[in-house]
Each structure stands twice: as structure tokens, then as C-alpha cells.
């Protein structure tokens, strides 16, 4: 991985360990920049908030999309300049709005009508308005965001109202924002939403004499997690959307807007591989043999949240033939703590190293300390050199908020 044997990484940094391949992150970033010249590409920090990764991406010219005070702080500590920051959130606190102003962020994205006055009062200057077209992306319901009834953004009539109110309040309404969902494995819903956005931009122009100079298309492109998954290549996905945008804007006689993209998963998801040490191997029934690892739902809750599927291999015996199917479970006190329902492996033994690819996004960032388990370390690997980018938590870290008397 990145020129280092997985076993050496596990020896040096311990397990569980999330190892990021720098070249894979950079290749994804370059694919976005190459397919969308002139666009502002922002890393969706929620995928994995990490200062070193943000620095790496900022060095290539990317910015960051942040949705909380904490995510903003990650971006600021990484030195991401304000003009490459966009602030989201469906329920921004006053502190978050103030911090956005202090950081001089490029845009605050208005997500509710009451944010118009609050943003103006806090001294926000430039905003986008997030609109919810009522499009159901073909993905897990928990990560659909632009359907009718979504908690995110404003339905079209309210978005029009927000644009008018924000302009009256003296805000510069630069454009519109749309994010239809995550882990999209085709371009269908994204194409439909760009077409829809063109129509909505035309409506804005007719009704308000205002058209978006900026269009932020959010993130959403999925990655392949397990056999049978097919995700579009970054270049194809982006090119399709931009062509569609061009057509829609031409159709409505509008001036082509500046484009912002906010990929998260597709930038860092494939680059991350989690290494676990195998412990107990247990034949629990005629059909199920568990391979227990030294992590689980505390470092990757996606199987529990979305029924996510993964594949795996034994990194220390990767050249051996698979002999049977195994169920990979974690060490947590829930029967549902299963990382992989079924994976073909050579007969696993205590001490083997299980590598689970595609674990760079929405894993550690969504992790917890369930069962008072410290969260794993993360490293960035390039040209055979591994650099710690997130320290392994200690038991003291887990207990640091406890208050005791005496």
C-alpha cells in the first residue's frame, strides 16, 4: 500500500489502522480538476475530517465544504484560505455563522428562511441558496438529500422567497446550491437535477430579475465497495454534469455560471484501507464461521447505518486460495456488529491481518467510542513512507471527559 507492505504498516502503527494512499487521493483530486477546469472544487470534509488530508488537497488548489464549527476549524488549521471555503448546515448556530464571517468564507449556504436575517445580522456578505428540487436519488434513503420533504435546503417556492428576502436584506446572493445525495452509482439523478436547476434558474430570472452567477452542484459520486458495484469514473461523471449544465443554461438563454463541486467520498473513499488484526475464529453454526477483528462498528458504522457491503482479504496471505466463506464481526457488544456478512478467504487464523478496502470515507469520521474502545490511527502512505495523520486514541483519551469527586 503506497509502496509499504501492509504488515509493516501494522507493525509500526498497530491495528486497527486506516492507511490512506496519497497517490490515490491526488489522482482523484486531479481527475476533478482536469474534468472541471475553472470550477472551484471543495473537499466535503464530513467524509473524513483530517488536517493533513486537507493540507494535501489544499496544496492542489482544492478548498473545503464545512458544515459545523468543528469542520471549519479543521479547514482553518489546514490553512485552507477563506475564498476556498463554503459553509453548510441545516441548523447553523449563531457561533457557526459568526465563525464563518470571521474566517472570511467565500459563501454561506442559506438552508432555511430564518437564516436570511440571522446571516445579514451577523455580517455575512455572500450567500448561496440551497434548493431542494424533490428528486429522489437512487441511493440509501439516509443519504438522499433533495427529495420532497428533505430536512436540507428549501423547496422551490421558499427558495425564491429566500433569494428575494436575502437581496432585500443587503446580502449578495451569488447563486444556488444543490446536493441530491451521496454514493450515487450512475448519473441519472444528477443529470435530472441539473436540468431541473436550469429551469429553476430561468424561473428566478423571470420572477426576480435575478439569475445565479454561481451554481454549486454538491458532491455525491459513489465508489465501488464490493464485487458487483459499478461507479462512474470521476471524469465521466463530472463531464456529463457539466455538459448537461451547458445545455440547460443554453436552452434557457442564461449566462453560464461559475461551478462549484463538493466531492467527499469519491476523493478519499477508495484511498483508505483499514487493517485489522484477526482474533477469535469461531464456527458458530453449520453455515456461519465468524472471524473477529480488533475493531468494528466503532471505527466503521456504515454496515449498521446503511447495510453497507465490503470485501476483504488477508493481507499477510493474499496469494493463498480462498477456502471458504466467513463472516467478519467486530469486538463490540452487539450481534449487529458485523462488518462483512460473507467474504471468501483462506482459512483465517489468529494474528492474520485483514485488509478492508474502500474505507476512507464516512468510516473513522463517523466512528464512536462505543464500549469505551479508542478509535484507530490513520496514516498517509506515499513512495514507501508512512506518515501518522491521526494519532491512535488512548484509554485516557476515551476517559478524558469524566468528572469524578475525589
Quote the least distance from Cβ 369 to ligand PLP, whole Å.
Answer: 23
Q: What is the largest CA-CA distance in the chain?
A: 72
- Residue 25: enclosing H or E segment and its boundaries? helix 22-35
Q: Which of 21, 204, 329, 333 is catalytic?
A: 333
- The C-alpha atoms of residue 377 and residue 54 are separated, in whole angstroms, by 17
Q: Which of 127, 278 has the CB closer to ligand PLP?
A: 127
Chain centroid to Cα 118, Å, comes to 27
Residue 333 is a catalytic residue: yes
Does residue 264 bind ligand PLP (CB under 6 A)? yes
Q: DSSP secondary structure string, 124-144?
A: --EEEEEB------SS-GGGB
- Tell me how far apart the alpha carbons of residues 277 and 378 are, in angstroms, rounded to a whole number: 15
Residue 262 found at the interface with ligand PLP (CB under 6 A): yes
137 grid coordinates? 436519488
Q: Choose among 211, 115, 132: nearest CA to 179.
A: 132
Q: How far is the CB of 395 from ligand PLP (least distance, A)?
A: 32
- Determine which residue in the list 4, 179, 302, 332 makes contact with ligand PLP, applying CB under 6 A: 179
- Name the residue among 102, 128, 142, 301 with its Cα closest to residue 213: 128
The Cβ of residue 312 has, within 10 Å, a number of other Cβ atoms equal to 24
Binding mask 193-232 for ligand PLP (x = CB under 6 A): -------------------------xxxx-----------
Question: Smallest gap, in angstroms, from Cβ of residue 141 to ligand PLP?
Answer: 13
Under rule CB under 6 A, residue 150 binds ligand PLP:
no
Choice from 10, 31, 47, 340 touching ligand PLP (CB under 6 A): 47
Q: Which is nearer to ligand PLP, 46 or 332 (CB)?
A: 46
Q: Which of 182, 274, 300, 363 binds ligand PLP (CB under 6 A)?
A: 182
Using rule CB under 6 A, residue 316 touches ligand PLP = no
Where is 173: in which H helix or E strand?
strand 172-177
Q: Specify the DSSP class assigned to residue 97.
A: H
- Which window, 198-206, 259-267, 284-292, 311-319, contacts ligand PLP (CB under 6 A)? 259-267
When asked if residue 50 is in the footprint of ligand PLP (CB under 6 A), the reply is: no
Count the neighbouring beta carbons within 10 Å of the beta carbon of residue 34: 12
Minimum distance, C-beta of residue 72 to ligand PLP, in the bound complex (Å) = 14
Which of 65, 115, 294, 337 contacts ligand PLP by CB under 6 A? 65
Of residues 145 and 298, the one with the C-beta less far from ligand PLP? 145
Distance, in Å, from the CA atom of 323 to the CA atom of 404, rounded to the nearest integer, reads: 52
How many other C-beta atoms can be found within 10 angstroms of the C-beta atom of residue 359? 29
Strands 272-283 and 17-21: antiparallel
Cα–Cα distance for residue pair 82/76, rounded to 1 Å = 8
Site string (84-113) toward ligand PLP, x via CB under 6 A: ----x-------------------------
Residue 85 C-beta: closest distance to ligand PLP, Å: 13
By the rule CB under 6 A, 277 interacts with ligand PLP? no
Catalytic (active-site) positions? 333
Which residues of the shown chain bind ligand PLP in the complex (CB under 6 A)? 44, 46-47, 65, 88, 145, 179, 182, 218-221, 262-266
Amino acid at each position: 500500500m503506497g509502496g509499504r507492505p501492509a504488515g509493516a504498516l501494522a507493525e509500526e502503527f498497530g491495528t486497527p489502522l486506516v492507511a490512506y494512499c496519497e497517490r490515490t487521493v491526488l489522482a482523484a483530486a486531479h481527475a476533478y480538476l482536469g474534468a472541471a477546469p475553472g470550477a472551484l472544487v471543495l473537499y466535503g470534509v464530513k467524509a473524513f475530517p483530517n488536517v493533513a488530508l486537507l493540507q494535501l488537497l489544499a496544496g492542489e488548489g482544492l478548498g473545503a465544504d464545512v458544515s459545523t464549527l468543528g469542520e471549519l476549524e479543521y479547514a482553518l488549521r489546514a490553512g485552507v484560505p477563506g475564498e476556498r471555503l463554503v459553509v453548510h448546515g441545516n441548523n447553523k448556530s449563531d457561533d457557526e455563522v459568526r465563525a464563518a464571517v470571521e474566517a472570511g468564507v467565500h459563501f454561506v449556504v442559506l438552508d432555511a428562511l430564518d437564516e436570511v436575517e440571522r446571516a445579514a445580522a451577523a455580517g455575512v456578505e455572500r450567500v448561496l441558496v440551497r434548493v431542494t428540487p424533490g428528486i429522489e436519488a437512487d441511493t440509501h434513503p439516509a443519504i438522499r438529500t433533495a427529495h420532497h420533504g428533505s430536512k436540507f435546503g428549501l423547496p422551490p417556492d421558499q427558495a425564491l422567497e429566500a433569494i428575494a428576502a436575502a437581496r432585500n436584506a443587503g446580502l449578495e446572493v451569488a447563486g444556488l446550491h444543490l446536493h441530491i445525495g451521496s454514493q450515487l452509482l450512475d448519473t441519472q439523478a444528477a443529470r435530472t437535477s441539473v436540468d431541473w436547476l436550469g429551469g429553476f434558474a430561468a424561473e428566478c430570472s423571470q420572477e426576480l430579475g435575478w439569475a445565479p452567477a454561481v451554481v454549486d452542484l454538491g458532491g455525491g459520486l459513489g465508489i465501488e465497495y464490493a464485487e458487483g458495484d459499478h461507479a462512474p469514473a470521476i471524469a465521466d461523471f463530472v463531464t456529463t454534469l457539466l455538459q448537461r449544465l451547458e445545455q440547460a443554461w443554453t436552452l434557457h438563454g442564461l449566462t453560464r455560471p461559475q461551478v462549484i463541486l463538493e466531492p467527499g467520498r469519491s476523493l478519499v473513499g477508495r484511498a483508505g484501507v483499514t487493517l485489522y488484526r484477526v482474533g477469535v475464529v469461531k464456527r458458530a453454526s453449520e453455515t456461519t464461521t465468524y472471524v473477529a477483528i480488533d475493531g468494528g462498528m466503532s471505527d466503521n458504522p456504515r454496515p449498521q447505518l446503511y447495510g453497507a457491503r465490503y470485501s476483504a482479504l488477508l493481507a499477510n496471505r493474499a496469494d493463498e486460495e480462498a477456502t471458504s466463506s466467513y463472516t467478519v464481526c467486530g469486538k463490540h457488544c452487539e450481534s449487529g456488529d458485523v462488518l462483512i456478512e460473507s467474504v471468501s478467504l483462506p482459512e483465517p487464523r489468529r494474528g492474520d491481518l485483514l485488509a478492508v478496502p474502500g474505507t476512507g470515507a464516512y468510516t473513522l469520521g463517523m466512528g464512536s467510542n462505543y464500549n469505551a474502545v479508542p478509535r484507530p490511527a490513520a496514516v498517509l502512505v506515499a513512495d514507501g513512507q508512512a506518515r501518522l495523520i491521526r494519532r491512535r486514541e488512548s484509554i485516557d483519551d476515551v476517559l478524558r471527559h469524566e468528572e469524578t469527586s475525589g
